[in-house]
Amino acid sequence: MDRNGAVVGPLYLFELASSQARYLELRQSTIATNVANANTPGFKARDVEPFNKVLDTMPVRLATTSSSHLQLSAAETETRATAKKDSWEVVHSGNSVSLEQEMIKGNDVNRDYSMNSAVVRSFHRMLLSSVKT
């Protein structure tokens, strides 16, 4: 309980951010492997499952604290999920690595990491300021 008598639950944001950082590390490693094998005959480009699928396996679910909160049905949640894109063309050697596509994925990882870091920093500052008062 906090000093106002409200029940304070565990904070899962740091655990979630840590999970996403591990996911981004794995995705970046996969992208680097694809780029390193761009000239290897028969190499098939790989990618990891989208983070929203990883997130679906976590036990934390959003809680509604007010009757005015919107409720998403399972169908709406599935509609919002990102679709996995097919790999670009396969060259004559059987290699399916597209350096352009890998650079786009690398940029996505960089953007997601920057967002993750910014959210954690902001939450950490907010948490520290609430403890000081």
* Predicted TM-score (pTM) of this structure: 0.65
Q: Which amino acid is at 16?
A: L
DSSP helix/strand/coil, 114: helix
pLDDT tens per residue, range 78-118: 433 333 445 556 666 778 888 999 999 999 999 999 999 99
At 1 the pLDDT is 44
Q: What tokens does 63 get?
A: 């809680």
pLDDT band with cut points at 50, 70 and 90 for residue 56: confident
At 21 the pLDDT is 92
pLDDT tens per residue, range 30-55: 999 999 999 889 888 898 888 887 67
Q: Which long-range contacts (CB under 8 A, 24 or more apart) does 81-85 make?
A: 81/50, 81/52, 81/53, 82/50, 82/52, 84/47, 84/50
Is residue 74 scored above 60 in pLDDT? no
Could you tell me which residue, 2 or 58, shows the higher pLDDT?
A: 58
**Residues 19, 58 contacting (CB under 8 angstroms):** yes
